[in-house]
Structure formats: C-alpha cells, structure tokens
C-alpha cells in the first residue's frame, strides 16, 4: 500500500495546541499512523459526509481521504463534547 501524505488545516493546528501536551503526543501518533493506513479498523465513516473519524481517548480526529492524490487531510481535532459542533 502506498504511503499517504498528512495535511493539516490551519485551524486544526490551533485546535491541537489547545489540547494538553500528554494528549497531544498520543493524538499526533494516531494521526501519523493514518499515513500508513488511512482506513484503520477503528475508523468510522460519518454519515452524510465524505469524512472519517478516529478516537484517541476522549478526543476525536476528523479527516478526509483523497485516494487519487494519496492525501489524508486532517479537518478537525478536539474533545468529543466539542468536535461535532
């Protein structure tokens, strides 16, 4: 399988900076693993959208996959109570 490039939106980088450091590290590791397998067993496709979600503890990472470009675009990352607003 080809390796996917990970891209962040500028708002996502700001959202990650608001998360506590110990959780940030785990989230970044989880995001990095998407480069190898953008559709892991634990991912869920969001209904009505071409986006996927993975969990890391109490945090959620929303992303889009562009197979033709081999790109995973991280759309949003944050606490589960705030992520879907």
pTM for the complete prediction? 0.90
Domain boundaries, the chain: 5-79
The CATH code for residues 5-79 is 3.30.2310.20
Residue 71 scores a pLDDT above 70: yes
Report which of 71, 80, 64, 84 is spatially closest to residue 23, judged by C-alpha positions. 80
Q: Determine the pLDDT at residue 35.
A: 94
Q: What is the mean pLDDT of residues 19-46?
A: 94
For 25, other C-beta atoms within 10 Å of its C-beta total 11
Exposed / middle / buried, residue 60 (Cβ in 10 Å: 0-12, 13-18, 19+): buried
């Amino acid at each position: 399988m080809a390796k996917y490039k990970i891209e962040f939106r500028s708002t996502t980088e700001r959202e990650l900076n608001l998360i506590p450091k110990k959780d940030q590290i785990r989230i970044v590791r989880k995001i990095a693993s998407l480069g190898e397998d953008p559709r892991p067993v634990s991912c869920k496709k969001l209904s009505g959208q071409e986006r996927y979600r993975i969990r890391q503890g109490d945090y959620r990472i929303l992303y889009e996959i562009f197979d033709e470009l081999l790109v995973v675009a991280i759309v949003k990352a944050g606490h589960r109570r705030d992520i879907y607003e």
